[in-house]
Amino acid sequence: MKDMQHYATIEELRIAAKKRVPRMFYEYVDAGSWSESTYRANSDDFARLQFRQRVAVDFSTRNLATTMIGERVSMPVALAPTGIAGMQHADGEILAARAAERFGVPFTLSTVSICSIEDVAAHTQRPFWFQLYMMKDRGFIADLIARAKAARCPALVLTLDLQIQGQRHKDRRNGLSAPPRLTLRNLAHLSRYPRWCARMLGTQRRTFGNIVGHAPGVTSIASMADWSAKQFDPTLTWKDIDWVRERWGGKLILKGVLDEDDARIARGVGADAVIVSNHGGRQLDGAPSTISMMPRIAEVLHGDVELHMDGGIRSGQDVLKALACGAHAVYVGRAFLYGLGAEGEAGVTRCLEVIRDELDMTMALAGITDIRDVDGTVLRSGGFVKGHAPAGEDAAPVRMQIV
């Protein structure tokens, strides 16, 4: 294992992960749907926003700590729910949850994780958040919610944008499955990753831990594939949120909002937080980037609902830009998975260190000493000003065009 300081950026973690993770699992992370235009826009649109550099500001004391849905966090960043993280590295969800716990940020476990709710709970002290996909089998969903409550998960993240799966061409070409099917082609490819294979052989967690052995009739990877193909629910509507809330009873975060009208509805159904998200560019290709929609959705919600976002965040600078555009906090998915694939638990920790250090330094150079004071005035162009206009102008919130 390398000295973690060797990795100065998230991009360097990505390059290392690409060398160490088999293609079908690396490309599951590092790809979008169809032409991948939305996947690319999520990152590219961040680069179009510029900071206002400020000088002669005393930034000898700085603070990144804040809260997310009332939970104190060391910085306004959470680890996003990501499917099959346990295929990037053996026991991946456990390792990522432990890294997040030590760092003081939330970890969100996916419904389609490799390590189960119970696995992660048994290896962590800090309660983690749980992400829920709605399936047709409401009995199974009710059981998942009960298991999350038993694990003391303080927040449920309900994903709304996966009623059907987007066109993910790389996953189809690679024959994605967990564990990988033992075809001659796959065996030949896996032989190039002996460390990955050795770790996988050393764990019993190699398939969907929240589903296999829990969903009726799902006892193997073969039955899992048949079950999952039929279970994502195209009939999901806003009315189903009441059904979820009745069984959950705790903090509810709605993920997948990318339109002003949907943001208004989410506020109306009583969400504790809304995640502006396009599923990492993995669902509707040709949809706008999340950062480009942040100003509009922030303006619609007027601070009535805590506003989070994901998509395209690869640095601490991206975090600061998201906050300036109206987000209260952000989620990182691919960034931490690169760290996980590169160096396991230490790689996830390094990902968080890189983001923290970049966020701290950029905030200072933009003339801000407390993360809670960030607003649109840190940007030269683009974003939504929360509470203040640039110096010398009226103090009312203003909209600025992303150009």
pLDDT per residue over 100-136, tens digit each?
999 999 999 999 999 999 999 999 999 999 999 999 9
Of 116, 61, 232, the closest CA to residue 163 belongs to 232
At 206 the three-state DSSP class reads coil
pLDDT beyond 80 at 98: yes
150 token code pair:
């038993």
d(CA 320, CA 380): 13
pLDDT digits (tens, 9 = 90+) for 253-284: 999 999 999 999 999 999 999 999 999 999 99
Mean pLDDT across the stretch 323-345?
A: 98
Please give the model's pTM, rounded to 2 decimal places: 0.92
pLDDT of residue 388: 35
Average pLDDT taken over every residue of the chain: 91
pLDDT of residue 221: 67
Question: C-alpha distances in angstroms, 323 versus 150, 309, 328?
Answer: 33, 9, 6
Q: Which of 6, 123, 214, 279 is catalytic?
A: 279
H or E segment at 159? strand 155-159
pLDDT of residue 219: 80
pLDDT of residue 2: 66
d(CA 84, CA 81): 10
pLDDT of residue 297: 97
97 token code pair:
């949850």
pLDDT of residue 177: 84
Cβ contact 228:134 at 8 Å: no
* 294, amino acid identity: M
Q: How many CB atoms lie within 10 A of CB 388?
A: 16
- List CB contacts of 198: < 8 A, sequence separation 6 or more: none
pLDDT of residue 225: 65
Q: pLDDT over 90 for what percent of the chain? A: 81
Across 44-58, 102-116, 208-222, least confident range: 208-222
Beta bridge partners of 109: 130
Across 61-75, 228-242, 354-368, least confident range: 228-242
Beta bridge partners of 157: 131, 253
State the DSSP code for 367. T
At 268 the three-state DSSP class reads helix
pLDDT beyond 60 at 1: no
At 402 the three-state DSSP class reads coil
362 token code pair:
């950029």
pLDDT beyond 80 at 387: no
Cβ contact 157:130 at 8 Å: yes
Which carries the bigger pLDDT value, residue 173 or residue 339?
339
pLDDT beyond 80 at 99: yes
Task: Please work out, in degrees rounded to the nearest 5, the angle formed at the alpha carbon of residue 68 by the alpha carbons of 63 and 71.
Answer: 90
H helical segments located in 191-312: 194-201, 221-231, 240-248, 260-268, 290-301
Which residue segments constitute the domains of the chain, with CATH numbers given?
4-381 (3.20.20.70)
Please report which confidence band the pLDDT of residue 332 belongs to, taking 50, 70 and 90 as the band edges: very high
Cβ contact 322:313 at 8 Å: yes
pLDDT beyond 70 at 399: no
To the query of whether residue 279 is one of the catalytic residues in this protein, the response is: yes
